[in-house]
Amino acid sequence: MEQVSANRSHAGVQGVYTHRSTSTGTPMTFSVFVPDHAPGAKLPVLWYLSGLTCTHANVTEKGEYRAACAEHGVIFVAPDTSPRGEGVPDAEGYDFGQGAGFYVDATREPWSTHFLMRSYIEIDLPQLVAGHFPADMDRQGITGHSMGGHGALTTALRNPGRFRSVSAFSPIVSPLECSWGEKALGGYLGPDRTSWRAYDACALIDDGARLPDLLVDQGTADNFLADQLKTHLLEDACARAGMPATIRMQEGYDHSYYFISTFMAEHVAWHAKRLV
């Protein structure tokens, strides 16, 4: 692991790092904010998964989480959304290929060589974070935005007991039911839609997966709400399963980081209460 930068901020250190991923076979960049803490102390970890077109930098520069993380003593980790670099395949458009890994392990060529973002998020990066930062891996929460909200929900649902807290901003709740999901999952996994269910939050809940609690914020002025995000499908799935969920429709907010930054401190505090 190599340090790209480190900046003092909000009684902590905001760092950016690169490493060679064993999952993707490529260099990967991620950011970590570590609040000040007593020597030898271990802090809870909040993972943040970003959306389409984003890198680690979007939330690091615009997410406004550091003051809340410093207040509550929470490490904040923001990975990239896909492998990148020489020899990594790409596609035209913003919703497939580099910047659009969808947090899946691809099984179709040419994507299956490098696009193993599920393994990167679930195995590779957590091992690195545990080995290099004062992270208490028994106290993990996860959140994300849009495609990253999809990633946060499905990662937590597939790994019962790993995350004490789960939230999302404007998540893609059912890739099986939207064009973004159909393009990504069809391209990475192939036409067999049964293999897609492991990457669909609503399908996972219908198939028996559960979360102890869930917080979702969704803006009513989000131009992707009706066609891509379809928050009502998650509300319906949680109701059918009897799974507790707080799903808040925030009047007038859109899909941008203006929205995310408005509610980020609330999400950090919500996670912190569950990560004690």
A 10 A CB-CB count for 200 gives: 26
Q: Is 10 a catalytic residue?
A: no
Q: Is 124 a catalytic residue?
A: no
Residue-wise DSSP of 213-235: --EEEEETT-TTIIIII-HHHHH
Contact residues for 38 (Cβ-Cβ < 8 A; gap 6+): none
Query: Of 56, 72, 255, 267, which is the active-site residue?
Result: 255
Q: How far apart are CA 45 and CA 145, in angstroms?
A: 17
Contact residues for 164 (Cβ-Cβ < 8 A; gap 6+): 139, 140, 141, 212, 274, 275
Torsion of the alpha carbons at 233, 237, 242 and 246, rounded to the nearest 10: -40
Q: Is 170 a catalytic residue?
A: no
Q: How far apart are CA 34 and CA 272, in angstroms?
A: 14
Query: Of 21, 31, 146, 174, which is the active-site residue?
Result: 146
32 forms beta bridges with 15, 77
The residue behind tokens 């691809």 is 106
Catalytic residues: 146, 222, 255
